[in-house]
Amino acid sequence: MLQRLLIRDFVIVDQLELEFSSGFGALTGETGAGKSILIDALSLILGERADASVIRTSAERAEITAEFDLPESGALADWLQANDFDATSCLLRRIIDQGGRSRAYINGTAATLGQLREIARYLADIHGQHAHHSLLHSEAQRALLDTHANAHELLAQTALAYAAWRQAREARLAATSDREAAEREHELLTWQVNELNSLGFDADEWQETEAEQRRLANASALLAAASNALAVLDEGDTAALSALQHAGVQLNELTAADPALAEAASLFDSAIIQLEESALALRRYQDRLELDPTRLASLDQRIDAVMQMARKYRITPTEIPGLLARLAQQLEELNLRADPSALAEREKTTETAYLALAKKLSALRAQAAKKLSIAVTAGMQELAMGGGQFHIALTPLAEGALFGLENIEFQVAANAGQSLRPLAKVASGGELSRIGLALQVIASQANTAGTLIFDEVDVGIGGRVAEIVGRMLRSLGQTRQVLCVTHLPQVAAQADWQWSVVKETRNKQVVSSVQMLDQTGRIAEIARMLGGEKITSTTQRHAAEMLGLGLNITG
């Protein structure tokens, strides 16, 4: 459930902080007051794209923060943990600057727009005022049915299987259409793979080769340096180590005369020990390091061969194993393409895998289509379309597609006795609004989001139908938090709580603000929605009656 919403410098909102209640809430106000701005802000916090045009005039940036409640366990908490976000709260924040750049945060940690869209599935579902128009398109009809069937995971698996099948088919067809070109490619790949294999390149061996080559190439200089250091330390007439050892003996003898000398003597002894160990290490190094021109020449030859191969293929030596693997994979694919029976077998295997998934998807769709058809037909009766019928037809395709084995078509008979025909061909604007609303309300019941938002989805209806719509949303609000931007008093009157969005001028700038309406305020707002500019006592009584208050209002 949405608990708090903070908006700063967004369109015509300077600063707005709202605390939301559960149940069904209505957002009302004059046309152009900014009712839909709240929905736009929520859309951005849930991952919609934005640009600098949403920033209020004279402001540097727009900022939106939304806080949702978080059950101790469940899919939302699991998602937060799986994506390395703090799972003790659910706080979303979005900032858009003058350059059009956007930053997003989930519980204080930077997030991507993709992550905002993912988490939105668990938080809120927004139904826009033009949503019913999209129902005229087959893609939208299929998406709505798949959402109601909870088939998204199976649909993704089916799409991947279809892609594998098509790739296998194209490989078989390509192999038979250009055999001569395939033979030339096979010859080239075979030569390249053999050439790279003959090099016998190994990344670890390459590092060892380079290190040994550097050592042997500098062997003379290394030996000279070691010999010179030994001569200074412990060899020759001017060896420093013996003189230091003698001086150390003198210092140790004199510590008895003055204990203050003990620290310096101890440090001196430590230094002598280090120098003695250095001399031993230098002798061992001299014994181990040999001048080996033959080995050096061999290493130089190996390095030259590797570098020539790398230059030939325009890569670095360390990229040779990756190139060999890719070429070997291409050669394997080419060998497979040269074997018609193997290609046909792979095509059959991938086709079988696709059909198995697609048939599961079809069964899931058929089950959901039946339930949704019955529910929407029932909803049509409530929405003053008595005798009307709604049906979802699954029409088999001649050949499977990325989205499955059938096209989805919404069909409707608007009145009793009429035959079912495609929704796009028979529904009038008002009928389409009512059918779309029924679909959205029913589909929302299958949605796992805790907050359902309807942005003027009641456009095109009125009178008794509007009252029924209000009751439908109120009923939906018993199990979910429902927010509805509406211009219909019949809908607003059914709400558990109501806000009024007003536009005013502050410091020579137009800004929107939101007022939480008490009982008196709701009567006044419903009366305004009923009666327009001039509000009479009759209009107020009607508003009170719609709210079920039964108050005695005198003019």
pLDDT at position 179, please?
64
d(CA 63, CA 6): 8
Which of 16, 26, 4 is closest to 483 using CA atoms? 26
Give me the tens of pLDDT residue by residue for the chain, a chain 555 residues long: 899 999 999 888 888 888 999 999 999 888 776 777 888 888 899 888 888 888 988 889 999 999 998 877 678 888 898 899 988 889 999 999 988 889 999 999 999 999 998 888 888 877 765 555 567 778 888 988 998 888 989 999 999 999 999 999 988 887 766 666 667 777 888 898 898 888 888 888 888 888 877 777 666 566 666 667 777 777 766 677 777 887 888 888 778 788 888 888 888 888 888 888 887 887 777 666 665 667 767 777 888 888 888 888 888 888 888 888 888 888 887 776 667 777 888 899 999 999 999 999 999 999 999 999 998 888 888 777 788 889 999 999 988 999 999 999 999 887 788 888 888 776 566 667 677 777 767 766 666 678 888 877 666 677 777 888 888 888 888 888 889 888 889 889 999 999 998 888 777 777 778 889 999 899 988 988 887 667 888 888 888 888 886 555 554
Residue 35 · residue 28 · CB < 8 Å: yes
SS3 125: strand
Residue 455 · residue 128 · CB < 8 Å: yes
d(CA 486, CA 466): 10
pLDDT at position 404, please?
94
User: What distance lies between CA 216 and its chain's CA centroid?
Assistant: 54
* Tokens read off for 312: 């030939």
pLDDT at position 405, please?
95
Residue 501 · residue 31 · CB < 8 Å: no
pLDDT at position 5, please?
92
Strands lying side by side in the sheet with 389-401: 389-401, 404-413, 421-422
Q: Which DSSP letter does residue 486 get? A: -
On the 0-12 / 13-18 / 19+ scale of CB atoms within 10 A, 552 is exposed
CA angle in degrees (0–180, nearest 5) for 25-28-32? 140
Beta bridge partners of 106: 92, 109
d(CA 454, CA 96): 25
pLDDT at position 553, please?
53
d(CA 21, CA 42): 16
Beta bridge partners of 95: 63, 103
Residue 528 · residue 31 · CB < 8 Å: no
d(CA 103, CA 528): 40
Strands lying side by side in the sheet with 451-455: 124-127, 451-455, 481-485, 24-28, 497-506, 509-516
d(CA 296, CA 293): 5
Model pTM score: 0.58
d(CA 318, CA 210): 12
What Å distances lie between residue 366 and 56, 115, 402, 407, CA to CA? Answer: 49, 32, 18, 12
Q: Which DSSP letter does residue 55 get? A: B
Residue 305 · residue 199 · CB < 8 Å: yes
**What is the 3-class SS of 373-411, one letter each residue?**
HHHHHHHHHHCCCCCCEEEEEEEEEEEEECCEEEEEEEE
d(CA 52, CA 11): 10
**What is the 3-class SS of 292-349, one letter each residue?**
CHHHHHHHHHHHHHHHHHHHHCCCCHHHHHHHHHHHHHHHHHHHHHCCHHHHHHHHHH
Q: Give the containing element (helix H, strand E) for 92.
A: strand 90-97
Could you give the maximum distance between any two Cα atoms of the chain, in Å? 126
pLDDT at position 445, please?
66
Helix and strand counts by DSSP (H, E) for the chain: 20, 15
d(CA 60, CA 510): 17
